[in-house]
């Protein structure tokens, strides 16, 4: 009986132990599972936080590279997919960078071409808003104040003809051109307006090219005036020759005295034509720079004395005193003696022509720190103040009827000869007292 109870107890104890072990292992299993679950959850949270950070870094990198700092590149670190994205973004930014740099360089190149153009270039949209206006256009239209893209066309110009050209070209969708006179700066412009659409919207805008025609027109006028003056100057001696020849033909040739007189008149007219042609050719050579200086070191007093000697006979004949007050000790100067001699010849011959008998013609010279000065003064009839600013112009004569002898080219040639030496000439005069022509040639020419 005792054995049975012992066995029974053992059985119960063993069963209890088994149950205990089983319950314990169940408990540990549950706890382990919970712990593993918690650990997995922590890992997932940690991982997703890490990934979120890396995504945020990539996003920040993309934002920085695309909008703040185009040279910024992403770090291709982290998970393979993120690294691939970073590398792809970097490649894209490299390409965009290259294209932007090319685009920028192209824009700079275009802007510098527009800035250095002599023609004015303006782009205006159909609402009259300026898209672009280069410096030449601003200068040509004499615009005061700044002109920036986005401003109204009226900030650039209010000239009705310019606005009209632009409006007609936009409305008619065709190129319109017009010659425009700007009265405030006496300029003549050609404005050509061509419509062209904006590629993105198709809205019409106009490209206006402005060309300054002022110099061309002025040259044209000068050329026309020159031809008209030259023809007029030639017509007088030609008419004289014709009249003398006809008179001779009608019988004057039979009379020795008459023949002599008319032949002399023909000779004078021929000389006049010859002088005119020679002076026109000389002026043309000087103006086109075909007459280079042949510089020599010469004494100013010798230059003046040589010129005076050519007029001594005529001065005595017309009872004029022709003298030099040039000091003999002036230093030698570097000039073209033939050309300066020609200046003196023209000035002295004018003085002789316009000074009544008994008058005095004086030549003087002096040196200051920069120039050698020469003056030719006379005690003649003088030049009206309103004529003084014009006497160096081609064909200018003080009498409108042009009955005076002379071509009106002498002083124009003088001015060119002095100009060629880098000098300047001016005239002063008092009616009834006389005139003085003064010119200065810079020193230090080799
Ligand atoms: P021209 O060959 O006709 O003399 P210039 O060009 O030498 O032409 O002179 C232009 C004009 O200037 C002359 O027609 C004359 O009216 C005036 N003029 C030039 N020199 C003098 C002077 N010394 N005194 C008065 N008038 C002068």
Nearest to 296 by CA among 286, 287, 288, 306: 306
Pocket lined around ligand 1, Cβ cut-off 6 Å: 346, 350-351, 354, 378, 380-381, 383, 391, 396-398, 404, 406-412, 435
R_g of the chain, CA atoms, integer Å: 49
| Ligand 1 atom nearest to CA at 380 | 24
Nearest to 342 by CA among 277, 293, 289, 288: 293
DSSP 232-268: HHHHHHHHHHHHHHHHHHTTGGGSHHHHHHHHHHHHH
The verdict on domain 218-288 having CATH code 1.10.287.130 is yes
| Ligand 1 atom nearest to CA at 355 | 24
Taking CA atoms only, the protein residue closest to ligand 1 atom 12 is 391
Q: Give the contacts of 412 (CB within 8 A, at least 6 positions apart).
A: 283, 392, 393, 394, 395, 396
Of residues 5 and 63, more confidently modeled: 63
pLDDT at 401: 67
pLDDT at 393: 92
Answer CATH for 296-442 from 3.10.450.40, 3.30.565.10, 3.60.40.10, 3.40.50.2300: 3.30.565.10
Helix (H) / strand (E) element for 384: namely: none
3-state secondary structure of 295: coil
> What's the gap in Å between 352 CA and the centre of ligand 1?
10
Among 233, 379, 411, which residue has the most ligand 1 atoms within 8 Å of its CB, making it the best to mutate? Answer: 411
Q: What share of the chain is helix, strand, coil (3-state, %, to 5)?
A: 55, 20, 25
Q: What are phi and psi of 241, to 5 degrees?
A: -65, -45
Give residue 174's pLDDT band: very low, low, confident or very high (50, 70, 90).
very high
Which residues does residue 34 pair with via DSSP β-bridges, in sequence order?
A: none
pLDDT at 400: 67
Taking CA atoms only, the protein residue closest to ligand 1 atom 19 is 350
DSSP 140-172: HTT--S---TTSBGGGT---HHHHHHHHHHHHH
* Distance in angstroms between the alpha carbons of the first and the last residue of the chain: 155
The verdict on domain 118-212 having CATH code 3.30.450.20 is yes
Give residue 18's pLDDT band: very low, low, confident or very high (50, 70, 90).
low
Q: Give the contacts of 49 (CB within 8 A, at least 6 positions apart).
A: none
> What's the gap in Å between 408 CA and the centre of ligand 1?
7
Whole-number Cα distances in Å, 396 to 106, 177, 277, 307, 393: 54, 37, 16, 24, 6
> What's the gap in Å between 350 CA and the centre of ligand 1?
6
Whole-number Cα distances in Å, 280 to 315, 409, 412: 27, 8, 10
Mean pLDDT of the chain: 87
pLDDT at 426: 97
Please state the domain extents for the chain: 6-104, 118-212, 218-288, 296-442
DSSP 398-439: SSTT--SSS-S-HHHHHHHHHHHTT-EEEEEEETTTEEEEEE
Convert the pLDDT of each residue in 134-170 to its tens digit: 999 998 887 777 888 899 998 888 899 999 999 999 9
- Measure the CA–CA gap between 107 and 199, rounded to whole angstroms: 17
DSSP 185-197: TTEEEEEEEEEEE
Residues 218, 223, 224, 227, Cα dihedral to 10°:
160
Nearest to 138 by CA among 204, 189, 205, 194: 189
> What's the gap in Å between 346 CA and the centre of ligand 1?
9
- Measure the CA–CA gap between 383 and 426, rounded to whole angstroms: 13
> What's the gap in Å between 228 CA and the centre of ligand 1?
20
Task: Judge whether residue 34 has pLDDT over 60.
Answer: yes
Farthest CA pair distance, the chain: 203
pLDDT at 347: 98
pLDDT at 302: 95
Let me know the angle formed at the C-alpha of 335 by 332 and 339, rounded to the nearest 5 degrees: 135
Give residue 201's pLDDT band: very low, low, confident or very high (50, 70, 90).
confident
> What's the gap in Å between 397 CA and the centre of ligand 1?
6
pLDDT at 411: 97
Among 378, 400, 405, 406, which residue has the most ligand 1 atoms within 8 Å of its CB, making it the best to mutate? Answer: 406
Q: Which of 104-108, 179-183, 213-217, 439-443 ranks highest by mean pLDDT? A: 439-443
> What's the gap in Å between 315 CA and the centre of ligand 1?
17
> What's the gap in Å between 391 CA and the centre of ligand 1?
7
């Amino acid at each position: 009986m005792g054995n049975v109870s012992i066995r029974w107890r053992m059985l119960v104890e063993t069963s209890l132990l088994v149950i205990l072990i089983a319950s314990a292992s169940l408990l540990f299993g549950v706890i382990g599972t919970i712990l593993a679950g918690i650990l997995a959850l922590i890992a997932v949270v940690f991982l997703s936080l890490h990934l979120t950070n890396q995504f945020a870094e990539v996003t920040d990198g993309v934002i920085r590279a695309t909008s703040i700092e185009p040279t910024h590149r992403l770090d291709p670190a982290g998970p393979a997919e993120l690294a691939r994205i970073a590398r792809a973004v970097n490649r894209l930014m490299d390409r965009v960078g290259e294209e932007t740099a090319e685009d920028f360089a192209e824009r700079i190149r275009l802007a510098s071409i527009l800035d250095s153009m002599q023609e004015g270039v303006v782009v205006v949209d159909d609402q009259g808003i300026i898209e672009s206006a280069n410096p030449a256009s601003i200068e040509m239209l004499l615009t005061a104040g700044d002109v920036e893209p986005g401003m109204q066309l009226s900030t650039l110009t209010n000239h009705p003809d310019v606005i009209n050209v632009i409006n007609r070209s936009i409305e008619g969708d065709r190129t319109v051109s017009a010659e425009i006179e700007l009265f405030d700066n006496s300029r003549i412009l050609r404005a050509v307006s061509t419509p062209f659409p904006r590629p993105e919207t198709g809205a019409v805008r106009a490209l206006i090219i402005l060309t300054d025609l002022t110099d061309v027109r002025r040259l044209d006028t000068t050329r026309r005036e020159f031809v008209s003056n030259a023809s007029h100057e030639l017509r007088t001696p030609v008419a004289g020759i014709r009249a003398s020849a006809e008179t001779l033909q009608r019988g004057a040739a039979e009379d020795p005295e008459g023949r002599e007189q008319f032949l002399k008149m023909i000779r004078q007219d021929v000389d006049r034509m010859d002088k005119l042609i020679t002076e026109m050719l000389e002026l043309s050579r000087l103006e086109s720079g075909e007459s280079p200086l042949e510089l020599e070191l010469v004494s100013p007093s010798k230059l003046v004395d040589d010129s005076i000697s050519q007029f001594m006979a005529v001065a005595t004949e017309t009872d004029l005193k022709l003298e030099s007050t040039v000091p003999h000790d002036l230093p030698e100067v570097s000039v073209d003696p033939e050309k300066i001699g020609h200046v003196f010849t023209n000035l002295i011959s004018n003085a002789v022509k316009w000074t009544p008998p008994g008058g005095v013609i004086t030549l003087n010279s002096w040196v200051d720190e920069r120039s050698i000065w020469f003056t030719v003064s006379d005690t003649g009839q003088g030049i009206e103040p309103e004529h003084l600013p014009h006497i160096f112009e081609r064909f200018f004569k003080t009498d409108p009827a042009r009955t005076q002898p002379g071509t009106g080219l002498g002083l124009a040639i003088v001015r060119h000869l002095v100009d060629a030496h880098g000098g300047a000439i001016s005239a002063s005069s008092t009616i009834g007292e006389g005139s003085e022509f003064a010119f200065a040639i810079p020193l230090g020419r080799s």
